[in-house]
A and B are shown apart, each in its own frame.
Chain A
């Protein structure tokens, strides 16, 4: 029990540490990978808290997600290496305020809520995976499907918006013009 709490604390602190590192570096790749390791540390917290499936899933998903984020940041940012010392922050006062309030709320909720009795014995990992699967095929299905499609749409839309179309590509320049004409 003590060991478990210790590991939860260690990974929790690691997650916070990497989270801070995200904003302490100007290199896009470092930033993305710091976020990755922060999320992976959260995954390790799940593992320490005996929810194996969620932990492994978190660790797996974040590797690819954050890597993809890294390449998007490299593609779209002017100074991906961070060697130019470009400052990307703005509205500092507002964001500090928002951050403090959000953190305060989270702490308050954590402290004030009634979390119910502590579960003495967590079901074993195989059982958890099974129950999770059944839950996923039950009432949670719609929520997850909707979320997945929404995220995908948002990603595609964001990319599409970020690429200007006014300069038609060399190869299919004609097609572009045709499209514009038909519009």
Chain B
């Protein structure tokens, strides 16, 4: 029996030895991300796996739960980037459609995981090598080739040939190279998209458009003139030396009716496409070149065909860079559009951050969710709706279960039962503690702060299912964590002043808003909470990443106080609603902020819902927070928002 991602090789003694070594040294890449595993109570480290930061470093792809279509596609790219032998472990969901069948699949529980790891190790030890490995292929990896005219960007053909407008040979490029539609499928998509070339090209294109007709054959009308490299104002029709500095004049070609010195700068966007030259090595590499099909290398933005370059190919730096966007330091550098995520070690899984990098600085950026819930939800029974909503929100299932229950019961006209409400409130507070601890673990992962990562992970796993007594017993540990983080050197310097909310901003919620001093909390209006002694606490240190850290630490302790004053946490379950009808609007203070649900119930069936979550608002902040920041700071700023891509309503 061999694994689907086996490497080519005869099963010899050496291979068996290597296979065994690999089985005992498992590194895994978790899709959507480690924080989702933790939210489900899975501890992969305890199961004997090391969590790898990149697909290059991983031997096992661990897929948790069902994936959205976009994430499924991204996963295929990640899988293709893993070196063989590689295995797929699917936990609690169907095997993603673009992946080969899972080598081991099991349910979402720690015991099952440990058992599955054992099976996986056996499979790896025995079947890491095979004489005839299967090729991995997925539609998302295929790069479609299209042919464009170097002079007329609007001419795009599926087959090679000549341009109908100017008769030039068409050049090949990968489809989507310009549209950006498919870019950034994964963190490893090294999209050397040199933005400035693009910006530049567009100017030229416009130009070409304008005089396309007279100018179609710029070559024929072109004349050569001679300029001094040092003194652009020295222009002659004949070769010679510069009267000012004595340097030899260099030739350049100008279009007949084009006075500006733009011709030699032509960087056409016809990239040289040598994606067939993917190098084979060791004879084992059975991947096709489209393994990296998503990589688009527009590096060679300059067309070298000789059509566009002036006779000498000379370019003056001043001329070439004069129209480029400049960063704060005044340097005109290549801007590269780099995708971070959807599976990136420092960011929540499922979130894709696209940053335009200007050196180490971020020129601009935006975040999108690949796993966000769609706004329209089809109707269904009330129980199914509760389950579906809770499953969809992988990072805060209890909060959304509570929200759904509350809304449905309210629509059905049921009165709140104080005892149940208390248990539910305590369950919500417990999830808040767990969620904030999960965020701390994520912060540790982002900052390579191993101690924090491990400590917060341990505490989070303990908190998840603890009862009141156990939670109260954890108070010293949580308090120690609190004090420890306040005293950790470098941490404050790292977070202070990063990701401050833009002035005049509004409609932010949860810890993000409270850290900035806004008393935004639905728990204030809740009688149960008032009985438990809830009082709102807002940050005083300002709405930056450091303030958010302190706010979350404070809320962990505050939630613990509430639970201590309350009862054992009880999972919200939908009470019997019969076949009533009604309309309601409920809100819950989830760990990330207020979520509101407007819902119409007809004869016990949910017919229409409208969900409004904190993360949908916060994700819009990203562009503002990253702009002009250094890369590390930008990522810290995004991380400090504690975005849950699942809670982004598209």
A interface residues (Cβ-Cβ under 8 A, vs B): 75-81, 83-87, 90-91, 93-94, 163-165, 167, 169-171
Q: How far is the CA of A84 from the CA of B328 in the complex (A)?
A: 27
* Contact status A86-B328, CB under 8 Å: no
* Contact status A84-B302, CB under 8 Å: yes
Q: How far is the CA of A93 from the CA of B313 in the complex (A)?
A: 17
Q: Which residue of B lies closest to A94 (CB)?
A: B248
Task: Tell me the smallest distance from the CB of A40 to a CB of chain B, in Å.
Answer: 27
* Contact status B321-A78, CB under 8 Å: yes
Partner of B331, one of A86, A163, A171: A163
* Contact status B330-A76, CB under 8 Å: no
Q: How far is the CA of A81 from the CA of B326 in the complex (A)?
A: 20
Partner of A90, one of B250, B267, B301, B328: B250
Given contacts A163-B331, A165-B330, A169-B330, whether A84 and B300 have CB atoms under 8 Å apart is yes
Q: How far is the CA of A171 from the CA of B321 in the complex (A)?
A: 22
Is B416 engaged at the interface, CB distance under 8 Å to the other chain?
A: no
Task: Tell me the smallest distance from the CB of A155 to a CB of chain B, in Å.
Answer: 15
- Digitize B268-280: 1 where CB-to-A-CB distance is under 8 Å, 0 elsewhere: 0000100000000
* Contact status B250-A75, CB under 8 Å: no
B interface residues (Cβ-Cβ under 8 A, vs A): 229, 247-248, 250, 267, 272, 299-302, 304, 312-315, 317, 320-321, 326, 328-331, 333-334, 359, 628
Given contacts A78-B321, A84-B267, whether A167 and B229 have CB atoms under 8 Å apart is no
Not counting A84-B267, A85-B304, a sample of 19 additional A-B residue pairs whose C-beta atoms are within 8 angstroms of each other reads A75-B331, A75-B359, A77-B317, A78-B317, A81-B299, A81-B300, A83-B299, A84-B300, A84-B301, A87-B312, A87-B313, A87-B314, A90-B247, A94-B247, A167-B330, A169-B330, A170-B328, A170-B628, A171-B628
* Contact status B229-A90, CB under 8 Å: yes
Q: How far is the CA of A78 from the CA of B300 in the complex (A)?
A: 11
Contacts of B320 in A (CB 8 A): 78
Of the candidates A77, A79, A93, A94, the one having the most CB atoms from chain B within 10 angstroms of its own CB is A79
Task: Tell me the smallest distance from the CB of B225 to a CB of chain A, in Å.
Answer: 15
Task: Tell me the smallest distance from the CB of A160 to a CB of chain B, in Å.
Answer: 10
Task: Tell me the smallest distance from the CB of A166 to a CB of chain B, in Å.
Answer: 9
* Contact status B315-A164, CB under 8 Å: no
* Contact status B330-A164, CB under 8 Å: yes
Given contacts A75-B333, A165-B330, A167-B330, whether A83 and B272 have CB atoms under 8 Å apart is yes
* Contact status B313-A167, CB under 8 Å: no
- Considering the complex of A and B, which 4 residue pairs feature the smallest CB-CB distances, nearest first? A84-B302, A83-B300, A87-B313, A163-B330
Given contacts A75-B331, A84-B301, whether A90 and B314 have CB atoms under 8 Å apart is yes
* Contact status B328-A169, CB under 8 Å: yes
Q: How far is the CA of A72 from the CA of B430 in the complex (A)?
A: 54
Contacts of A76 in B (CB 8 A): 317, 331
Q: Identify 11 residue pairs between A and B in the complex whose beta-carbon atoms are under 8 Å apart, listed by A's number.
A: A76-B331, A83-B272, A83-B299, A84-B302, A86-B302, A86-B313, A87-B313, A90-B250, A90-B314, A170-B328, A171-B328
* Contact status A93-B315, CB under 8 Å: no
* Contact status A167-B267, CB under 8 Å: no
Task: Tell me the smallest distance from the CB of A63 to a CB of chain B, in Å.
Answer: 22
Contacts of B328 in A (CB 8 A): 169-171
Contacts of B333 in A (CB 8 A): 75
Given contacts A76-B317, A79-B302, A170-B328, whether A90 and B248 have CB atoms under 8 Å apart is yes
Q: How far is the CA of A86 from the CA of B301 in the complex (A)?
A: 11
* Contact status B628-A78, CB under 8 Å: no
Task: Tell me the smallest distance from the CB of A35 to a CB of chain B, in Å.
Answer: 20
Q: Which residue of B lies closest to A95 (CB)?
A: B248
Q: How far is the CA of A165 from the CA of B329 in the complex (A)?
A: 10
Contacts of A163 in B (CB 8 A): 329-331
Given contacts A91-B248, A94-B248, whether A84 and B326 have CB atoms under 8 Å apart is no
Task: Tell me the smallest distance from the CB of B371 to a CB of chain A, in Å.
Answer: 34
Of the candidates B301, B320, B330, the one having the most CB atoms from chain A within 10 angstroms of its own CB is B330
Q: Which residue of B lies closest to A171 (CB)?
A: B328
Contacts of A90 in B (CB 8 A): 229, 247-248, 250, 312, 314
Contacts of B248 in A (CB 8 A): 90-91, 93-94
Contacts of B312 in A (CB 8 A): 87, 90
Task: Tell me the smallest distance from the CB of A72 to a CB of chain B, in Å.
Answer: 10
Contacts of B330 in A (CB 8 A): 163-165, 167, 169
Q: How far is the CA of A76 from the CA of B58 in the complex (A)?
A: 37
Partner of B302, one of A75, A77, A83, A164: A83
Q: Which residue of B lies closest to A79 (CB)?
A: B302
Contacts of A86 in B (CB 8 A): 302, 313, 315
Contacts of A81 in B (CB 8 A): 299-300
Task: Tell me the smallest distance from the CB of A12 to a CB of chain B, in Å.
Answer: 33
Contacts of B314 in A (CB 8 A): 87, 90
Task: Tell me the smallest distance from the CB of B320 to a CB of chain A, in Å.
Answer: 5
Contacts of A83 in B (CB 8 A): 272, 299-300, 302
Task: Tell me the smallest distance from the CB of B626 to a CB of chain A, in Å.
Answer: 14
Contacts of A78 in B (CB 8 A): 315, 317, 320-321
Q: How far is the CA of A163 from the CA of B331 in the complex (A)?
A: 6
Q: How far is the CA of A171 from the CA of B327 in the complex (A)?
A: 10
Q: How far is the CA of A134 from the CA of B425 in the complex (A)?
A: 80
Contacts of B317 in A (CB 8 A): 76-78
Q: How far is the CA of A93 from the CA of B321 in the complex (A)?
A: 28
Of the candidates A84, A90, A164, the one having the most CB atoms from chain B within 10 angstroms of its own CB is A84
Given contacts A76-B317, A81-B299, A91-B247, whether A167 and B326 have CB atoms under 8 Å apart is yes
Task: Tell me the smallest distance from the CB of A69 to a CB of chain B, in Å.
Answer: 16
Q: How far is the CA of A66 from the CA of B247 in the complex (A)?
A: 28
